[in-house]
């Protein structure tokens, strides 16, 4: 089993996340100037953030050993699910700027 | 100062239907789209039912880039280790005009935008609307790409979260119980392979829903649609159920498990996934609809909450096209009366009330409550699977009679619970 980025989760979860990265790699993404979704400062340990770990179809939220939720914007499908699950008190949420972010070729 | 008759936010089906209709009546229409092209941000399962919207755009459908007409319907009830599939074929599904088509939005929306442009609508892509301009409490334009753009009316067609309707004060950020998340893969397969594998001829297509173990008993289900030379395979799961755990499972893992089911693996064998997409879907029904109009603004499509799951069908695109069309009609009427205030735009609500859109939402307003029942997604699929196993089993010794085989699953307690569930489902 390859160890990626110091991730210490179980084998099943690891292989799942690796497969997901490859799947997201099939999509066309255009970089934005800054992240369009941010965890609001001071909210990193808010329990509502843990919902995003389960609901995000791109698996962009993960919980580390200290119980803090970490987030990466790369691979965001702009589905809006994290905003609905966690709410706007914990997430600063906007769509990426015009002409950036995911560009679906099939949809 | 740049001023248009109408500014439409979002080149999805609602926005493009409105633009097409308004431009056809000679109004100056600007459509703003944040994607590289119309459809770049849009996702469907998906299938479009044409009957409800055919006559709104009579000349549109003949050349529309739809995938396959759906001639084969089916549902698969999945339990952990077995499944029961019911296929439906009927002559009426093979007769023109066809009831429904599979569809890929990047292709379709781009084409629909061209038709609206041909009518005279102006489309600007790669442009995100950042704010509304308000004067004396009424919406008078938008801020986009640093520019201020003015119009008599803004139509918010910016999709399921509708940040524009939020800024107008017509809705609050959505609640998880009123939404589901859909995610799917487009899997390329040769056309002849698809036809042979699914028993299809020419442009015939298949649609199949899946329920039960496919969502680990959570509210929702799976779907499979055949496109011309690909398959759309995915899941829709209620966000509330997904985030509450029980069992806790990450959404993408559910789709992996779905693909690995032997019933599915054989259908997508040899196929190549070419895209992975996801989108939230309004599922709160009538009670969760947003306010539909304000001073100088209308809301249409997913932005208003016009999408509906009644178990057997999940529909949104027809409501988007229809609400976009009626929003356009409302603007045309408001322009005649020279009144773009709440009073002048209220005709939008009246038009919708008289149409299939509000009729459907009122008729099916109990559906979200009736379907919010874990027994439907967990208990019944498992029970049905076990029943089928026992019915088909031929043991070494004598086989049990059929009636007692079935009856062992239907004790008094079970029948009593079933009665309660049936009474709820009867309200749909």
pLDDT per residue as tens digits for the range A97-106:
999 999 999 9
Strand duo A69-71 + A61-63: pairing: antiparallel
Mean pLDDT, residues B168-176: 97
Q: What is the ipTM of this complex?
A: 0.95
| pLDDT higher than threshold 60 for residue A10 | no
Q: Are the C-beta atoms of residues A37 and A79 closer than 8 Å to each other?
A: no
Residue B398 to chain A, least CA–CA distance (Å): 43
Strand duo B147-156 + B3-9: pairing: parallel
Looking at 3.30.70.1110, 1.20.1530.20, 3.50.50.60, 3.30.70.270, the CATH number of the domain B3-66+103-171+290-354 comes to 3.50.50.60
Q: Lowest mean pLDDT of A10-14, B48-52, B112-116, B240-244, name the range.
A: A10-14
Mean pLDDT, residues B91-103: 96
Looking at 3.40.630.30, 1.20.1290.10, 3.30.9.90, 3.30.70.640, the CATH number of the domain B177-282 comes to 3.30.9.90
Mean pLDDT, residues B351-360: 97
Give the tokens for residue B306.
């016009």
Please, what is the average pLDDT of chain B? 96
Rounded-to-integer distance, Cα B375 and Cα B414, Å: 11
Rounded-to-integer distance, Cα B11 and Cα A98, Å: 13
Rounded-to-integer distance, Cα B278 and Cα B184, Å: 6
Mean pLDDT, residues A14-30: 83
Classify domain A30-103 at the CATH topology level: Alpha-Beta Plaits (3.30.70)
Q: Lowest mean pLDDT of A3-17, B8-22, B112-126, name the range.
A: A3-17
Tell me the percentage of chain B whose pLDDT exceeds 90. Answer: 94
Strand duo B204-212 + B69-78: pairing: parallel
Taking the CB of residue B428, how many other CB atoms lie within 10 A of it? Answer: 16
pLDDT band at B322 (very low <50, low <70, confident <90, very high): very high
Residue A102 to chain B, least CA–CA distance (Å): 7
Rounded-to-integer distance, Cα B106 and Cα B1, Å: 33
DSSP letter assigned to residue B85? E
Mean pLDDT, residues A65-71: 91
DSSP string, A4-68: -TT----HHHHHHHHHHHHHHTTSEEE--SS-SEEEPTT-TT-GGGHHHHHH-TT--EEE-TTS-
User: What are the CA-CA distances from residue B271 to residues A106, B47, B52, B181 (Å)?
Assistant: 16, 21, 34, 24
DSSP string, B117-164: HHHT-EEE-S--EEEEEEETTEEEEEEETTEEEEEEEEEE---TT-HH
Rounded-to-integer distance, Cα B219 and Cα B245, Å: 12
Q: Are the C-beta atoms of residues B150 and B140 closer than 8 Å to each other?
A: yes
Strand duo A28-30 + B230-238: pairing: unpaired
DSSP letter assigned to residue B38? T
**Cis (ω within 30 of 0) for the bond into B130?**
no
pLDDT given for residue A8 in this prediction: 41
Query: What pLDDT digit, counting tens, does each position of B53-79 carry?
Result: 999 999 999 999 999 999 999 999 999
| pLDDT higher than threshold 90 for residue B155 | yes
pLDDT given for residue B234 in this prediction: 97
Q: Which of A16, A81, A95 sits opposite B253 (nearest CB)?
A: A16
pLDDT given for residue A7 in this prediction: 39
Q: Which of A55, A80, A96 sits opposite B243 (nearest CB)?
A: A55
pLDDT given for residue A17 in this prediction: 61
Show which of residues 91-110 on chain B sit within 8 Å of chain A, judged by CB atoms.
104-107, 109
Chain A: residue nearest B175 by CA? A84
Q: Residues for chain B: how many in total?
A: 428
- Neighboring chain A residues of B44 at a CB cutoff of 8 Å: 107
pLDDT given for residue B246 in this prediction: 87
Tell me the percentage of chain A whose pLDDT exceeds 70. Answer: 83
Domain boundaries, chain A: 30-103
Beta-carbon contacts of B227 under 8 Å, excluding residues fewer than 6 positions away, are: B67, B68, B102, B104, B186, B205
Q: Residues for chain A: how many in total?
A: 107
Rounded-to-integer distance, Cα B176 and Cα B337, Å: 40
Beta-carbon contacts of B124 under 8 Å, excluding residues fewer than 6 positions away, are: B30, B31, B32, B33
Say yes or no for a CB contact (<8 Å) between B273 and A102. Answer: no
| pLDDT higher than threshold 90 for residue B356 | yes
Q: Are the C-beta atoms of residues B156 and B299 closer than 8 Å to each other?
A: yes
Rounded-to-integer distance, Cα B327 and Cα B27, Å: 13
Say yes or no for a CB contact (<8 Å) between A79 and B280. Answer: yes
Dmax (CA) of chain B: 88
Grouping H, G, I as helix, E, B as strand and the rest as coil, residue B399 is: coil
Rounded-to-integer distance, Cα B360 and Cα B175, Å: 22
Please, what is the average pLDDT of chain A? 87
Mean pLDDT, residues A6-28: 68
* B259 CB-side CA count, 13 A: 22
Say yes or no for a CB contact (<8 Å) between A88 and B249. Answer: no
Query: What pLDDT digit, counting tens, does each position of B197-250 carry?
Result: 999 999 999 999 999 999 999 999 999 999 999 999 999 999 999 999 889 999
Q: Which of A80, A101, A102 sits opposite B280 (nearest CB)?
A: A80
Show which of residues 55-74 on chain A sit within 8 Å of chain B, judged by CB atoms.
55-59
- Neighboring chain B residues of A32 at a CB cutoff of 8 Å: none
pLDDT band at B30 (very low <50, low <70, confident <90, very high): very high
Dmax (CA) of chain A: 40
Task: State the sign of the Cα–Cα–Cα–Cα dihedral A27, A31, A37, A42.
Answer: positive
B367: left (phi over 0), alpha (psi -120 to 50) or beta: alpha
Closest C-alpha among A24, A31, A52, A84 to residue B284? A84
Mean pLDDT, residues A54-72: 94
| pLDDT higher than threshold 60 for residue B2 | yes
pLDDT given for residue A18 in this prediction: 61
């Amino acid at each position: 089993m390859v160890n990626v980025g110091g991730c210490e989760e179980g084998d099943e979860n690891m292989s799942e996340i690796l497969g997901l990265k490859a799947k997201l790699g099939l999509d066309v993404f255009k970089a934005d100037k800054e992240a369009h979704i941010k965890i609001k400062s001071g909210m990193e340990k808010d329990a509502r953030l843990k919902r995003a770990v389960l609901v995000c179809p791109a698996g962009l939220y993960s919980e580390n050993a200290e119980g803090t939720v970490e987030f990466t914007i790369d691979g965001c499908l702009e589905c809006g699910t994290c905003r609905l699950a966690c709410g706007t008190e914990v997430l600063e949420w906007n769509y990426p700027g015009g002409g950036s972010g995911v560009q679906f070729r099939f949809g | 100062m740049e001023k248009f008759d109408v500014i439409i936010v979002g080149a999805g089906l609602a926005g493009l239907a409105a633009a097409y209709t308004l431009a056809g009546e000679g109004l100056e229409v600007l459509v703003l789209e944040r994607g590289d092209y119309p459809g770049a941000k849009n996702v469907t399962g998906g299938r479009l039912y044409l009957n409800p919207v055919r006559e709104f755009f009579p000349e549109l459908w003949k050349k529309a880039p739809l995938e396959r007409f759906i001639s084969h319907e089916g549902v698969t009830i999945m339990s952990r280790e077995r499944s029961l599939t019911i296929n439906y074929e009927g002559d009426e599904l093979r007769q023109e005009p066809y009831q429904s088509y599979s569809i890929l939005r990047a292709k379709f929306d781009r084409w629909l935008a061209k038709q609206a442009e041909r009518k005279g609508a102006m489309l600007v892509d790669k442009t995100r609307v950042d704010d509304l301009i308000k004067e004396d409490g009424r919406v008078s334009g938008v801020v986009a790409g640093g520019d201020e753009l003015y119009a008599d009316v803004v139509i918010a067609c910016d999709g399921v979260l509708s940040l524009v309707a939020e800024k107008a004060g017509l809705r609050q950020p959505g609640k998880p119980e009123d939404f589901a998340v859909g995610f799917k893969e487009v899997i390329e397969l040769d056309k002849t392979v698809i036809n042979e594998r699914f028993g299809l001829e020419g442009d015939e297509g298949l649609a199949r829903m899946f329920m039960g173990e496919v969502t680990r008993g959570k509210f929702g289900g799976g779907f499979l649609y055949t496109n011309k030379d690909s398959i759309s395979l995915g899941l829709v799961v209620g966000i509330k159920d997904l985030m509450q755990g029980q069992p806790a499972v990450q959404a993408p893992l559910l789709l992996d498990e779905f693909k690995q089911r032997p019933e599915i693996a054989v259908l997508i064998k040899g196929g190549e996934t070419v895209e992975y997409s996801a989108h939230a879907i309004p599922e709160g029904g009538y009670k969760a609809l947003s306010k539909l109009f304000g001073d100088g603004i209308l809301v249409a499509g997913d932005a208003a909450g016009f999408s509906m799951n009644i178990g057997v069908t999940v529909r949104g695109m027809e409501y988007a096209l229809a609400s976009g069309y009626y929003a356009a009609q409302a603007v045309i009427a408001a322009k005649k009366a020279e009144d773009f205030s709440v009073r002048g735009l209220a005709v939008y609500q009246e038009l919708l009330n008289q149409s299939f859109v509000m009729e459907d939402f009122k008729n099916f307003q109990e559906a979200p409550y009736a379907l919010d029942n874990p027994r439907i997604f967990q208990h019944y699929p498992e029970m049905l699977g076990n029943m089928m196993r026992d019915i088909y089993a031929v043991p070494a010794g004598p086989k049990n009679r059929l009636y007692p085989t079935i009856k062992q699953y239907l004790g008094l307690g079970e029948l009593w619970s079933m009665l309660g569930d049936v009474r709820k489902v009867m309200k749909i």
